[in-house]
Amino acid sequence: MNVVVCVKQVPDTSDPDTEVHIDSSGRDVERSKFSFVINDADNYAVEEAILLKEKHGGEVTVVNIGPETANQVIRMALAKGGDKAIRLEDEKFEFSDAVCTARLLASAIKDIEYDIVMTGCIATDDGYTATGVALGQVLGLPHAAYVKSVEVVEEGKLKVGRELEGGIMEMLEIQTPCVLTIQTGINEPRYASFKGIRAASKKEIKLMDLAATGLSEDEAGEAGSKSVMVQYSVPEVGELAEMLEGDAAETSGKLAGILKEKGLV
């Protein structure tokens, strides 16, 4: 069972006090204040890929589009049990939309022998939820999104559970090769062992630029995207909104007062 798992490096916003500021270009956030981590759902995808490998044998290949600093995220996936890695980097990849990102990933994946391609179901930074699904389309493969369980039924066939609203699980059989976008909570991601970390530092991360993907300039980045992110902005405070200031204890007190005053409780 060979699995390709796509991982993205995102700013660590797990601390609710994280402050996000838009940079002067208006098309990015100020990155210098963040530490960067693996996208949450991708972390579960990595674990699921390694669990499948441990159960059924095969190899796990980690694929990323990102700058050199993303090696940190890739190496951690290798330390946990990934075997090989590819990182795509080129200035011309900037501002790729979900479909274009999928095209770039597909260009790296197409030469690998695989049964399953996994991605996280959503990225915590842009929240598109589209890349994995688009990847299925670009690769011309069946796909399932928001996957909460994976089971190998027989050679060439998986049974996967998709989490729907209200906690309902949709079970479906899907033929491999296929693309699955993995939901958080599907497993309990492990911590890398020191031994794994040491071994990972010796594993190669293959680099691919635009030329190596075989794509043309107008198939990548902004030129290759049909939707383009124009600008980030912070919504203005509307007139009907009242922002409560202070710590949790203060604001909860004020909120209770307002609700009572308006006769809502």
Contact residues for another protein, defined by CB under 8 A = 17, 72, 75-76, 79, 191-195, 197-198, 200-201, 245-247, 250
**Nearest to 105, CA basis, from 226, 37, 96:** 96
Residue at token pair 């940079």: 23
| Shortest reach from residue 80's CB to another protein, in Å | 10
Q: Report the 10 Å Cβ neighbour count for 142.
A: 15
Q: How far is the CB of 14 from another protein (least distance, A)?
A: 8
Which is nearer to another protein, 154 or 245 (by Cβ)? 245
Q: Which is nearer to another protein, 74 or 138 (CB)?
A: 74
Nearer to another protein, 159 or 203 (CB): 203
Report, in Å, the least distance between residue 46 CB and another protein.
Answer: 13
Instruction: Check if the beta carbon of residue 143 is closer than 8 Å to that of residue 136.
Output: yes
Shortest distance, position 203 Cβ to another protein, whole Å: 12
Cβ–Cβ < 8 Å for 134, 101: yes
Distance CA 38, CA 69 (A): 11
Distance in Å, CB of 98 to another protein, minimum: 28
Q: Which is nearer to another protein, 193 or 227 (CB)?
A: 193
| Cβ contact 208:86 at 8 Å | yes
Shortest Å distance, C-beta 17 to another protein: 6
What string of DSSP letters covers 92-122?
Answer: GGTT--HHHHHHHHHHHHTTS--SEEEEES-
Identity of the residue, 19 or 154, whose beta carbon is nearer to another protein in the bound complex:
19
Contact 64, 74 (CB under 8 A): yes
**36 vs 128, beta carbon nearer another protein:** 36
Distance in angstroms between the alpha carbons of the first and the last residue of the chain: 56
